[in-house]
Structures are given as structure tokens and as C-alpha cells.
Amino acid sequence: MQTYTLIAPAKINLLLEIIGDRPDGFHELVMVMQSVDLADIIDLKALPNDQIQLHCNHPDVPLDASNLAHRAAVLMQKHFPDRGGVEIIIQKNIPIGAGLAGGSTDAAAVLVGLDLMWNLGLTQSELQELGATLGSDIPFCVLGGTALAMGRGEDLTPLPNLDQLYAVLAKYRSLSVSTPWAYKTYRQQFGETYAQTPEAQEQRRREGPSVPLLTAVNHKDTAQIPQYLYNDLERVVLPQHPKVSALRKKFKQVGCLGTMMSGSGPTVFALTKTQAEAEALKTQLQAVMGDPDLELWVTQFCGSGIQLESA
Ligand code: ATP
């Protein structure tokens, strides 16, 4: 029986700006999202009946119906009944609770994989719409590459490919941050500064930190892009986690084009122009931090989302 093997890349946020509240209770956001080549590998195999079986090599990933990959399979069965069941095998390479959209990219892989397995012929935007019902980052994980994400994160505009940049990712193994906690705390601390009306939100978008970053991205100006990295959630996560703040400072001291926390953290990334510079930065950081709890990865920006392994 055929196995579909999918590559499910992590994402980093080159920018995450919180604009205000939305009527649906979520935050209105402006984000610039970037896929990197640190990826989970997802195998899908057809099963009889409507069974969904889930396996993962990482002990901290839930194997029940709460797993986002499982939820994606349930969603596909609901929309496309009588197609059968699926065995999902996740090889987890993306750290968990890291701000790298690990769960979201697994779910995106299941959507893309079942579309292929069941021969559904769904369009990219149909897959993104299905993904948006499960989680705000899933549409981007389906699309991948570099993209502007607005609304909850589901309103996507593709941006030029930046695959000439590298990112060293750094995360303390023992540290994770809950995304709902980060947004809730941000609202508690900064809710009074939110743009309240649609007009005020539009004005904030037009005048915000995304403007110079988007200009740099649209010009593929790899010298300028690292100057305009931005993440509002650093304002709540860094004070709570001084180790992450120290890591970010250390990246700056050691030397990189620019550094920022990704999403709700606690992963910090630092940008370089070449793989050799990224490898050197990783080695230097490992040496100066001298902490076995700190994990580092050299990654390259990538121009696509979920891919079949053979593609
Ligand atoms: P995001 O950047 O989208 O906020 P994250 O990288 O911070 O996500 P995840 O790695 O997706 O966080 O994990 C968050 C929580 O989701 C975990 O604590 C885990 O229990 C749960 N989870 C559900 N499905 C998965 C999955 N397939 N892989 C990893 N975690 C999952």
C-alpha cells in the first residue's frame, strides 16, 4: 500500500505586530512569516474503515484526538466522508511549544497528504480555508515560503522568496511558552493601547513596523531585512523568561545580521547571509553559553510549505 511522505517545515516570524481586538475574540495581527528547512516528516498510510491511528517518536507529543494532525484528519473525514481511515506517523524534528508552529505544520501536512491520497484535487486556497478552521497558523503552513499574514493570520499575501538567508534557531530544551498565555498576558498589559475602530486599525497597519520590513522584503534587500525584525510578544515573554532575553543579547554581541524571538517564543533566531556564517555563529554561541540545555539549529529560509518527499 502506498505511503505518502510529507515534509512539514517550521516557520519563524520576521514580524509580529498586534493591532487590536477582533469581534471573534482573536487578535488582529500583522505578521511576516517565513518557512525554514527544519521540518517534521509525516508518513500517511490508508487504513480501512474510519480509523485514525497516530504515532510519534517524541514522548511529549499528545497521541490522542487533541493532536492537531489527528484533528486535521477528523476534519477531512467530516468534509469528505467514506474515504477511509489513515495512519499518521510523525517524525518530530521541530521543538514543541517553541513558537515555530510545529503542531500547525503537522496539521497542514495531513490536509495536503489526504488531498493527494484521496485524489480530491483541492486548490491551495481550499486547503488553506480548511486549515483556518483548525488554527490561525495552518493556512501559512500550507502555503509556506515568505508571506504577509493579516487578520488572525489566515489572510495571506505571498512575498518574494528569500531563500538566500539563513537563521540559527536557539531554544532551551526545558523551556516552552503557551501561545494562549502570551496573547492573554499581552492583552492584560497592553490592551488599553489597542486600535479600537477598523479605521484606527487600518491607520496603525499603514504606519507600523511592517512598512519598512515589507519594503526591504519586496526589494529582497537582505542587508535591510534584519534591521526591521519586530515582535510585540517579546514585551511579555522576555520579562517572564530572563534566559531568553539573555540569549537574544548574546546573539547580538557575538554578531549576526539581526535577531528576534519567533512567535510566542521561546525560540530566538539570528540571521546570517551564508551557511558558513550560520555554522560559525552556532558554534560560538554554544561555546559562550556553555549550557547543555540550549539546543541550536542552522536553517535556511525555504520557498515552499508542505511538500511530498519525492517532489
Ligand atoms: P505556534 O508557533 O503555532 O504557536 P508552537 O510551536 O508554539 O506553535 P506547538 O509545537 O505547535 O507550539 O505545540 C503547542 C502544543 O500543542 C503542545 O504543547 C502540544 O501539546 C500540542 N500539540 C498538538 N498537536 C501537536 C503536534 N502535532 N506537534 C506538537 N505539538 C502538538
DSSP code per residue over 118-145:
TT----HHHHHHHHHTT-TTHHHHHH-S
Query: Using CA atoms, how far apart are residues 1 and 17, in angstroms rounded to an integer?
Result: 46
Mean pLDDT, rounded, for 44-70: 95
Preceding peptide of 266 cis, ω within 30°: yes
Q: Which atom of ligand 1 lies closest to the CA of 71?
A: 24
Mean pLDDT, rounded, for 251-275: 95
Question: Model confidence over 58-74: pLDDT tens digits?
Answer: 999 999 999 999 999 99
Mean pLDDT, rounded, for 84-100: 96
pLDDT reading at 31 higher than 60? yes
**Residue 9 in grid coordinates:** 517545515
Could you tell me the pLDDT band of residue 80, with boundaries at 50, 70 and 90?
Answer: very high
6 lines ligand 1 (CB under 6 A): no
67 lines ligand 1 (CB under 6 A): yes
- Rg (the chain; Cα; Å): 19
pLDDT reading at 163 higher than 90? no
The DSSP annotation for 41-102 comes to: EEEEEEESTT-EEEEES-TTS--STTSHHHHHHHHHHHHSTTS-EEEEEEE--SPTTSSS-H
Give this prediction's pTM: 0.95
3-state helix, strand, coil in the chain (%, to 5): 35, 30, 35
pLDDT reading at 311 higher than 60? no
**Run of H or E residues at 210:** helix 210-218
pLDDT at res. 255: 87
* Most informative mutation of 179, 184, 260 for ligand 1 (most atoms within 8 A of CB): 179
Query: Using CA atoms, how far apart are residues 12 and 23, in angstroms rounded to an integer?
Result: 27
pLDDT at res. 49: 87
**What is the CB-side half-sphere exposure of residue 229 using CA atoms within 13 A?**
23
**Residue 130 in grid coordinates:** 480548511
Question: Model confidence over 179-236: pLDDT tens digits?
Answer: 999 999 999 999 999 998 999 999 999 999 999 999 999 999 999 999 999 999 999 9
SS3 103: helix
* Contact (CB, 8 A) for 33 and 14: yes
pLDDT reading at 100 higher than 70? yes
Interval between CA 229 and ligand 1 midpoint (Å)? 24
pLDDT at res. 47: 94
**Residue 95 in grid coordinates:** 521543538
**Helices 68-79 & 124-132, crossing angle to 10 degrees?**
120
69 lines ligand 1 (CB under 6 A): yes
Is 64 tagged catalytic?
no
Domains defined for the chain, CATH in brackets: 3-160 (3.30.230.10), 166-300 (3.30.70.890)
Interval between CA 247 and ligand 1 midpoint (Å)? 22
pLDDT at res. 113: 98
Bridge-partner residues for 156, per DSSP?
A: 149
Is 11 tagged catalytic?
yes
42 lines ligand 1 (CB under 6 A): no
Q: Name the closest-CA residue to atom 10, ligand 1.
A: 96
Residue with cell 513596523: 209
